Amino acid sequence: MARNILVLNVTWLVNSAAHLYGNKPFDQFMLPVESTFVAFVAIGEGWHNYHHTFPWDYRAAELGSKYCATTYAIDFLAYFGLAYDLKSAPYNMIEKRALRTGDGTHSVFGIKKARIEGCKKAEEDIINEADNEKLYQIEENVVGKAKNFIPDVSHRAVTVQG
């Protein structure tokens, strides 16, 4: 009985830790995280952000995992025809999702996302600078026309004796 209690508590601990400590390279709006430590300790079960983002992928980790016993077991069974119709997320789908909703910590797509966001920021700065220049020109033009419109009355100044 003590063994069952220990096994169940360790299982729940792994699931809890995989929802708390780590990064979110695929979907930053979910609670589950990617945790290398949990994946190592739990023999590959720490890639929860991927698993919850792509729940139909049998691998439960992007491109499988270096040390995921579950993926190895399923691949072994598939080799003998005992597991079939295995679904996995295509690479381009993983990339698009990581770029769209990831937190930028993905080892490959995070760098690409930073570059894209940097380019967008630079583009916005250029547009804002051009808009500011246009506003300055418009303001200069309006002030110039106003000077011509408002009559100069400085020569009519009357001195008030006090």
Predicted TM-score of the model (pTM): 0.63
116 vs 56: which has the higher pLDDT = 56
Q: Which of 11-25, 41-55, 88-102 has the largest mean confidence?
A: 88-102
Would you state the structure tokens that stand for residue 47, as one six-digit string?
């890639």
- What are the counts of helices (DSSP H) followed by strands (DSSP E) for the chain? 6, 0
Q: How confident is the model at residue 158 (pLDDT cuts 50, 70, 90)?
A: low
Residues 110/102, Cβ–Cβ less than 8 Å? yes
pLDDT of residue 104: 83
> Is the predicted pLDDT of residue 37 greater than 60, yes or no?
yes
pLDDT of residue 133: 63
Tell me which residue of 137, 110, 139, 103 sits closest to 24, measured CA to CA: 103
Q: Quick one: DSSP state of residue 1?
A: -
Tell me which residue of 132, 159, 26 sits closest to 89, measured CA to CA: 26
